[in-house]
């Protein structure tokens, strides 16, 4: 029988929750591999060393995942408007999922939810940037999906590195889905089914708690049509995967229209709609990395879960919400034009370069990454992999990119080339890349 906390003598220690609610002892942290620091912050040191040795030679950073560093970033008039909103709001605590004004603006001005969907401000949760959102999403997948530590997040074969280590640090295991180079390691329905079957047979009783679909993709630059994204999610749900996360953090940076959330949500029954989580924010599309502004679109159950965790953990900052509101006021595509337009122009330059020079690469119609196959150059230079290639390029040619090896073994001979740069810089960086490849 469980004794009520109120009946325990004040002279006796007492747990904060009833015994049946205590977290079971699990020694998994002691057995985990060390989580590496993101190489994004380390690789810049390579370029700094080249600049020190060659102060008169231009150097190029094609490793950027930060438009605020390599492009103009958030226009000052939006920052000034956000400051005015901050002055009006004051500096007291705000709700753990963001202010009502932000949530309403995001629902009504940004996403423009259709009445038939039934979504509104209560389906929006502000977060302190994309990584904060992801950690809370992983926790929701675990608690509301399978209810167990040690279950699995399914990701593509060459995933963004933080998809590997963020969930792992919270007690989720990560499974890489089947994928082939020729298709940019894209998910297939057969691959999702094979992943569920593999987990059931070899996972030691583990289940897949959630799956990540990202388009445009990081690191490969691959894009998926809305119909394709819907089909993949429908397959995941049919196989019993509790949640599917659509990471759309790059979707505004596109040659065509951004993702239509109404088209996504209307393709699912209300029951399956509640299993969909969408992540978006300002980090990429507005060059607002250090403003830490992202948000989650989800069922009210998931939003309430995030609220409870945020109230005891990381609260969303108001200034990030204010920058978003300032952008929504004038129309987001107009507000983000200083990022979207040069990136789209750079993408065209990269596409023409790849075609003219005969390189093999994955490059979609959105985001700002090209994933380039460097197998021949690596073999000619007797290099171990793309890590050695990136070090060689940085030391000898003043050009950095991100090694595909950092993402998974499948990408070990590829590099991620970021074209979040002014078009004229993109063109020069590509010339330097070609020079480095020919030198081998």
Among residues 171, 241, 190, the alpha carbon closest in space to that of 212 is found at 241
**Tens-place pLDDT, residues 333-390:** 999 999 999 999 999 999 999 999 999 999 999 999 999 999 999 999 999 999 999 9
Label each residue of 66-87 as H, E or C. Answer: CHHHHCCCCCHHHHHHHHHHHH
Who's near 167: CB < 8 A, 6+ residues apart? 138, 153, 173, 174
**What is the per-residue burial (b if ≥16 Cβ within 10 Å, else e) of 375-414?**
eebbeebebebbbebbebbbeebbbbbbbbbbbbebbbbb
What's the CA gap between 350 and 428, in Å, rounded?
A: 11
What's the CA gap between 59 and 436, in Å, rounded?
A: 13
* Burial (0-12, 13-18, 19+ Cβ within 10 Å), 334: exposed
Task: List the pLDDT tens digit at each of the 440 positions of the chain.
Answer: 455 666 778 888 988 999 999 999 999 999 999 998 877 666 778 888 899 999 999 999 999 888 888 999 999 999 999 999 999 999 999 999 999 999 999 999 999 999 999 999 999 999 999 999 999 999 999 999 999 999 999 999 999 999 999 999 999 999 999 999 999 999 999 999 999 999 999 999 999 999 999 999 999 999 999 999 999 999 999 999 999 999 999 999 999 999 999 999 999 999 999 999 999 999 999 999 999 999 999 999 999 999 999 999 999 999 999 999 999 999 999 999 999 999 999 999 999 999 999 999 999 999 999 999 999 999 999 999 999 999 999 999 999 999 999 999 999 999 999 999 999 999 999 999 999 999 99
DSSP strand pairing (243-247 vs 276-281):
parallel
* Residue listed under structure tokens 């090209």: 370
What domains can be seen in the chain, in order of their start residue?
39-64+336-439 (3.90.1150.10), 76-335 (3.40.640.10)
What's the CA gap between 401 and 126, in Å, rounded?
A: 32
Among residues 67, 48, 38, 36, the alpha carbon closest in space to that of 400 is found at 48
Q: Are 368 and 66 in contact (CB under 8 A)?
A: no
């Amino acid at each position: 029988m469980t004794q009520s906390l109120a009946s325990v003598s004040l002279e006796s220690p007492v747990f904060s929750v009833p015994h049946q609610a205590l977290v079971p002892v699990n020694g998994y942290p002691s057995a985990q591999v060390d989580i590496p620091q993101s190489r994004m912050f380390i690789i810049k040191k390579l370029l700094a060393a080249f600049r020190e040795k060659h102060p008169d030679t231009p150097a190029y950073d094609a490793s950027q995942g930060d438009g605020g560093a390599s492009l103009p970033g958030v226009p000052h008039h939006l920052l000034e408007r956000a400051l005015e909103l901050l002055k009006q709001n004051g500096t007291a605590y705000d709700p753990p999922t963001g202010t009502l004004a932000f949530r309403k603006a995001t629902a009504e001005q940004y996403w423009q939810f259709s009445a038939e969907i039934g979504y509104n401000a209560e389906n929006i949760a502000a977060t302190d940037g994309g990584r904060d959102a992801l950690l809370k999403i992983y926790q929701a997948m675990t608690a509301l999906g399978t209810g167990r530590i040690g279950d699995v997040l399914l990701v593509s074969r060459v995933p963004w590195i933080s998809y590997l280590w963020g969930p792992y640090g919270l007690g989720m295991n990560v499974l890489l889905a089947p994928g082939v180079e020729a298709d940019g390691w894209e998910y297939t329905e057969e691959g999702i089914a094979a992943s569920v079957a593999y987990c059931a047979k070899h996972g030691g009783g583990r289940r897949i708690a959630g799956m990540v679909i990202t388009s445009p993709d990081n690191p490969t630059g691959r894009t998926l049509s809305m119909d394709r994204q819907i089909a993949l999610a429908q397959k995941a749900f049919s196989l019993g995967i509790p949640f599917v996360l659509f990471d759309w953090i790059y979707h505004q940076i596109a040659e065509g229209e951004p993702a239509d959330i109404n088209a996504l949500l209307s393709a699912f029954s209300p029951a399956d709609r509640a299993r969909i989580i969408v992540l978006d924010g300002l980090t990429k599309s507005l060059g607002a990395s250090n403003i830490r502004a992202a948000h989650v679109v989800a069922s009210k159950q998931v939003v309430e879960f995030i609220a409870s965790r945020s109230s005891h953990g990381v609260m969303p900052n108001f200034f990030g919400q204010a920058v978003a509101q300032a952008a929504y006021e004038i129309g987001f595509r107009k507000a983000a034009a200083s990022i979207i337009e040069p990136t789209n122009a750079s993408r065209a330059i990269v596409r023409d370069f790849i075609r003219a020079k005969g390189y093999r690469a994955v490059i979609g119609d959105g985001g700002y990454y090209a994933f380039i196959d460097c197998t021949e150059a690596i073999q000619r230079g007797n290099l171990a992999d793309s890590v050695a290639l990136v070090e060689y390029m940085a030391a000898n040619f003043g050009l950095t990119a991100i090694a595909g090896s950092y993402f998974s073994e499948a990408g070990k001979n590829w590099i991620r080339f970021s074209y979040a740069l002014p078009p004229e810089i993109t063109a020069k960086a590509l010339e330097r890349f070609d020079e480095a490849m020919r030198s081998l």
